Structure 1
Amino acid sequence: MRLLSGEIFLNGRTRKAVAFDETGIIAFDDEALELDVEFEELGSAFLTHAFMDGHAHPLFAGREHLGPDVTNAKSVAEMQKIVAAWLADNQSPIWAVGGAYVRSIVDGGVFLASWLDEVAPDRPVVLHGSDHHTLWANSEAMRLAGVLSEAPSLSVGSIDVDASGRPTGVFRETEAKELITDAIPELSMADELKALTWAHAELASLGISAVQDAWMDKGMVEVYLAAEDLGELVLRTNLAFWVRPESWRADAKRFIAERTRITALRSPKLSARTVKFFADGVFGSATASVKKPYDSSAGYLGDPVWSSEELNASVAHFAAADFQIHIHAIGDAGVAMALDAIEKAGCPANSVIAHTELVAEEDIPRFAQLGVIANFEPLWAREDGMLTSCLHHLGRERLDSMYRMRDILDSGAKISFGSDWPVSNPDPLLGLFTATHRALPETPEVSWTPHQRITEKEALHAYTLAVAQQLELTADCSDLVILSGNPLKANVLDITVLETIIGGQTVFARQ
């Protein structure tokens, strides 16, 4: 048991002391101080609920970490240098698979295979775009995948081609991307575990105790089961099975069997209660589904991944099987389609619409009416290069109507926060700053759409107890974080994580 006293904020209340152990929180304030336990003074530090990430992809992030990391590269030349250095240092694996390049570095997000060919003429290179709905491949990767000379027709998504119809290197959305990714050799289980261990350590260092891994494809569940079996699973993790329109009926039995297998473990760290749908794509590729045509393409409304009839049937099927519903929806038509499917399924409890970037006025009140959680990635609510790269697709009016956190909260709906890592930085402190400022850290006084800012308490709740509810965790679990300052009062950008506690046990402590 530990007893801490000082500046404490738990369950929406200020406390002066808390006692806890691996079973949960035992006592507060005077009752805690009366226990026969030596107490620790927090001093100038601050204790609150551990952060939780309501939508992320830690295994994907760990896999990318094994390859060339171009996340912070500011130019194509810098990315070429990073890829060349990685290839020189790594003779195996043959394939170099990394990420995540920022599309706004190049006008229109058009990257060419020939640029990667300059540093990798003989080895296949694949870099994921930062939106993770796009990838960039070199000629050798396209040759090995059998798509070097001709782009096949697609039902959803697109492949950039030259005047002769030959692919030039960029593949947008799942069907196109899988032409390349299906050719990449599978990682060994040792490398998969290395990737997951690194990802969990990164998140724990940021004060995060629990995460929704929002995309389980074939083979990924086995990685989590292996980590659990070895006692190497650090964070509480809920898995979401990816539901695909072309195979959901056949996949449903496998999802139920894998959920049953995980539930039987009775693990405090691993669950699999959720199914994940993609209603549409993303604005950067103009594949998000919109109600009014894109400014950049007359009459074009984006690429819905599902027909409304099929999405309705699938959501209803999985809701009846007692899965939590979690739907990626970016455009206003995609959000409306997701809300319709949830409503027709009888409004299953704790349903989530992730991202909710653009929501039509008439759909704002439906979140509260249907009991749907709006999961936002707060770091996206700022006018950076990623946002402004969508301007030519959406126009200023629609761009400035994105990420309506304030409006959705004021409607009576619940919101939770996530990062979509590795799409964006998973640091909750940076997310708290953005949610309350709608600004870049270097210019905090320049707020984009300031009327959509939320308060410090609302933002902290969205990153802690709101995600706990989404993940069906109890509010009295002893998942705690000790920060160097109080994010409700101090400049959150000056605060660091000192200690992360999961189930009463320290999993990260800053030296």
Structure 2
Amino acid sequence: MRISSLRDGAIVNANVHTMDPARPVAEAVAWRDGRITLVGTSAEVLASRPAGPLVDAHGGTVTPGLIDSHTHPIWGAELARGVDLGGLTSFRAVSAALRAEADATVRKGEHWVFAWNLDYAALEGRPIRGVDFADAVHAMPAVVMFHDLHTCVATDAALAHAGIDGSETFADESVVVVDADGRPTGELREPSAYNLLLRACPQVTRSQLRDHTTRVLRDFARTGLTGGVVMDGSLDTLDLLAEIETTEDLPVRLDVALWHEPGRGDDGVEEFVARRTDRGRRWRTGIIKLFLDGVVETGTAWLYEPDTCGHSHRSYWTDRERFADVVSRYAAAGFQIATHAIGDRAVGEVVETYRKVGVLAANGAPHRIEHIETLTDADLSRMGRLGATASMQPLQMQWRRHDRSDKWSSRLGPERASRAYRTRDMLDLGIPLALGSDWPVAPFDPRVGMAWARLRRPPGLGGAVFEPHQVLRPAEALHAYTTAAAKALGDTSRGRVAEGMAADLTCFGGDPLRVPADELPELPVLATIVDGGYSFGEERP
């Protein structure tokens, strides 16, 4: 299959899953100036004499363009630096990787070591301490980010350079962890704490940030993604995207959620409100992102009852009334609200807050709850009555262990862990469900995401299934990455292959609804079409 870079074109001899109830399947699709003009048989499309190149799919499958409903393509430039520790499960292997990175850093004449994607399990029961990494990095300043982006560990040299001494306090529940003598251990929990360090270390230049962003977005397109929801936006993010579009089109569409942190005051609210309608050719804002808790693994989630270590019993917002006020003000200004809520108490609190302000944003989309890793039956029912969107990432179960030895399971205990990622329960109650990756926390490839939603275990490896009664059917997983993802944004122009819709399409070498889930990550993506032109395809250099 070969796709033209023009905004006009047609595909024939295809297996088109339209996700349109009025015509669920078709053979061909044509578009002009970035909009679909005809969906039907190959003969019908050929008879219409479509503008632009005509492509023979030779039986390939076309779906609406895939959308990652939760991702961090720009923040990743700052946090996903240095050596990728993903997949390393022993402290020895991590130390060897850090030593190799430190050696390379010295050869380049640089002085800081960076690493990311560290699995808590790789510490093999050790506490999180910078001193344990010092020998591997030759006592240089080092920043090691854990896979969840909620915790990092720094060496003493890095802490000293940043002036972090353990006396720091924050407007949220971020913590510089100290030992019994009040000295920082190197563990920095949550962004407000580790941002002190990141601001003091060598910075990513504007040119590097721009290059990183476009490179990552091109990689998105190679996996079939035509859009993503950026969950860490700032005003600088909007300026960066506008800057990129002065010279090139973004490879995918981006909906940018502006991140309101607890320390942001009323002037900051008004500053965001003034930019609510900012947009470019392939990006826009209009969403506010908030955190109501942290993560289970380090005890910063918010649970109805403390975790097995006695933690995870507080909101990330120390002033809960302020959280509710901020949500109300942004909702009144027309924003859609997306709230990070991992623990069951956090989810329940968000449900109640949305109930009070009204669940629908100005664009008609429901407000969103991000992650929802554990959920009570009572709050599941309340979500069903409310109608808020559940934005979830089942592939983050990859760090769980069936013997419950992982930090997530052991801290929650068996009862709460058994209520994990209740995707089937949500669909059965009619709760809107959109899926995503949370990259760089987990792989952004939507084929991997759909496979995890269908299998609830690592694809291709077999083994036991986590909560088998929560698996999704193939069409449901595809729906959550297409139609539901678009509806979650209030976007009526995407998510279906139908006349008048945006020509955002993903073209596969086989049928994602028929290929076994274990083989789905290897299903070839032949082309990715955004706004009628290709972002990835055989003709692209």
Asked if Structure 1 and Structure 2 have the same fold, meaning a TM-score greater than 0.5 normalized by the shorter chain, the answer is: yes
| 1:4 corresponding residue in structure 2 | 11
* 1:496 and 2:521 aligned: no
Moved more, 194-203 or 489-498: 489-498
Alpha-carbon distance change, 87 to 359 in structure 1, aligned in 2, over 3 angstroms: same
Once the two structures are TM-superposed, the CA of residue 292 in structure 1 deviates from its matched residue by 1.7
Matched-pair contact (CA < 8 Å) for 2:18–2:26: yes
* 1:145 and 2:162 aligned: yes
Q: 235, 248, 253: which is aligned to 1:231?
A: 248
Matched residue SS, 2:204: coil
Once the two structures are TM-superposed, the CA of residue 185 in structure 1 deviates from its matched residue by 4.0
Matched residue SS, 1:259: coil
| 1:454 corresponding residue in structure 2 | 472
Rounded Cα–Cα distance in structure 1 between residues aligned with 2:378 and 2:144: 39
| 2:378 corresponding residue in structure 1 | 362
Q: 196, 212, 222: which is aligned to 1:195?
A: 212
Moved more, 156-165 or 229-238: 156-165
Q: What aligned pairs does 1:325-474 form with structure 2 within 5 A after superposition?
A: 325-349=337-361, 350-381=366-397, 384-385=400-401, 388-444=406-462, 446-473=464-491, 474=493
Rounded Cα–Cα distance in structure 2 between residues aligned with 1:57 and 1:286: 23
| 2:535 corresponding residue in structure 1 | 507
Counterpart amino acid of 1:347?
V
Once the two structures are TM-superposed, the CA of residue 89 in structure 1 deviates from its matched residue by 3.8
Matched-pair contact (CA < 8 Å) for 2:296–2:312: no
Matched residue SS, 2:490: coil
Once the two structures are TM-superposed, the CA of residue 240 in structure 1 deviates from its matched residue by 1.0
Normalised by the size of structure 1, how large is the TM-score? 0.92
| 2:303 corresponding residue in structure 1 | 290
Matched-pair contact (CA < 8 Å) for 1:22–1:505: no
State the number of aligned residues.
505
Once the two structures are TM-superposed, the CA of residue 255 in structure 1 deviates from its matched residue by 1.2
Normalised by the size of structure 2, how large is the TM-score? 0.87
Once the two structures are TM-superposed, the CA of residue 122 in structure 1 deviates from its matched residue by 5.4
Rounded Cα–Cα distance in structure 1 between residues aligned with 2:206 and 2:175: 32
| 2:25 corresponding residue in structure 1 | 14
Counterpart amino acid of 2:168?
P
Q: 275, 283, 286: which is aligned to 1:270?
A: 283
Once the two structures are TM-superposed, the CA of residue 362 in structure 1 deviates from its matched residue by 1.2
Q: 281, 291, 316: which is aligned to 1:304?
A: 316
Q: What aligned pairs does 1:141-290 form with structure 2 within 5 A after superposition?
A: 141-147=158-164, 149-153=165-169, 156-217=173-234, 219-260=236-277, 262-263=278-279, 267-290=280-303
Rounded Cα–Cα distance in structure 2 between residues aligned with 1:51 and 1:402: 25
Matched residue SS, 2:61: strand
| 1:62 corresponding residue in structure 2 | 77
Which one scores higher on RCO, CA 8 angstroms, separation ≥ 6?
2
Q: 481, 487, 490: which is aligned to 2:512?
A: 487
Q: CA RMSD in A?
A: 2.3
Matched residue SS, 1:422: coil
Percent of counterpart pairs with the same letter? 27
Rounded Cα–Cα distance in structure 1 between residues aligned with 2:502 and 2:286: 19
Rounded Cα–Cα distance in structure 1 between residues aligned with 2:281 and 2:385: 32
Once the two structures are TM-superposed, the CA of residue 39 in structure 1 deviates from its matched residue by 4.2
| 1:26 corresponding residue in structure 2 | 37
Alpha-carbon distance change, 66 to 380 in structure 1, aligned in 2, over 3 angstroms: closer
- For structure 1, the 5+ residue unaligned runs are none
Moved more, 189-198 or 246-255: 246-255
Once the two structures are TM-superposed, the CA of residue 137 in structure 1 deviates from its matched residue by 0.9
Once the two structures are TM-superposed, the CA of residue 92 in structure 1 deviates from its matched residue by 6.2
Once the two structures are TM-superposed, the CA of residue 108 in structure 1 deviates from its matched residue by 4.7
Alpha-carbon distance change, 92 to 196 in structure 1, aligned in 2, over 3 angstroms: farther
Once the two structures are TM-superposed, the CA of residue 163 in structure 1 deviates from its matched residue by 3.5
Matched-pair contact (CA < 8 Å) for 2:89–2:121: no
Rounded Cα–Cα distance in structure 2 between residues aligned with 1:64 and 1:127: 9
Matched residue SS, 1:423: coil
Counterpart amino acid of 1:352?
R
Q: Deviations over 1:464-503 (max 9, x none)?
A: 1111122333132111111121111112244121211111
Rounded Cα–Cα distance in structure 1 between residues aligned with 2:175 and 2:125: 14
Rounded Cα–Cα distance in structure 1 between residues aligned with 2:244 and 2:93: 35
Counterpart amino acid of 1:479?
D
Rounded Cα–Cα distance in structure 1 between residues aligned with 2:179 and 2:449: 40
Alpha-carbon distance change, 300 to 499 in structure 1, aligned in 2, over 3 angstroms: closer
Matched-pair contact (CA < 8 Å) for 1:103–1:109: no
- For structure 2, the 5+ residue unaligned runs are 1-7, 495-500
Rounded Cα–Cα distance in structure 2 between residues aligned with 1:17 and 1:109: 57
Rounded Cα–Cα distance in structure 2 between residues aligned with 1:338 and 1:92: 48
Matched residue SS, 1:215: strand
Q: 34, 49, 53: which is aligned to 2:68?
A: 53
* 1:477 and 2:509 aligned: no
Rounded Cα–Cα distance in structure 2 between residues aligned with 1:383 and 1:115: 22
Moved more, 115-124 or 5-14: 115-124
Q: Deviations over 1:294-328 (max 9, x none)?
A: 1222x862443254322211111001111110100
Matched-pair contact (CA < 8 Å) for 1:312–1:344: no
Matched residue SS, 1:219: helix
Matched-pair contact (CA < 8 Å) for 1:23–1:503: yes
Counterpart amino acid of 2:432?
K
Matched-pair contact (CA < 8 Å) for 2:113–2:137: no
Matched-pair contact (CA < 8 Å) for 1:21–1:503: no
Q: What aligned pairs does 1:76-95 form with structure 2 within 5 A after superposition?
A: 76-90=91-105, 91=108, 94-95=111-112
Matched-pair contact (CA < 8 Å) for 2:94–2:122: no
Matched-pair contact (CA < 8 Å) for 1:281–1:289: yes
Once the two structures are TM-superposed, the CA of residue 105 in structure 1 deviates from its matched residue by 1.2
Once the two structures are TM-superposed, the CA of residue 439 in structure 1 deviates from its matched residue by 1.5
Matched-pair contact (CA < 8 Å) for 2:343–2:372: yes
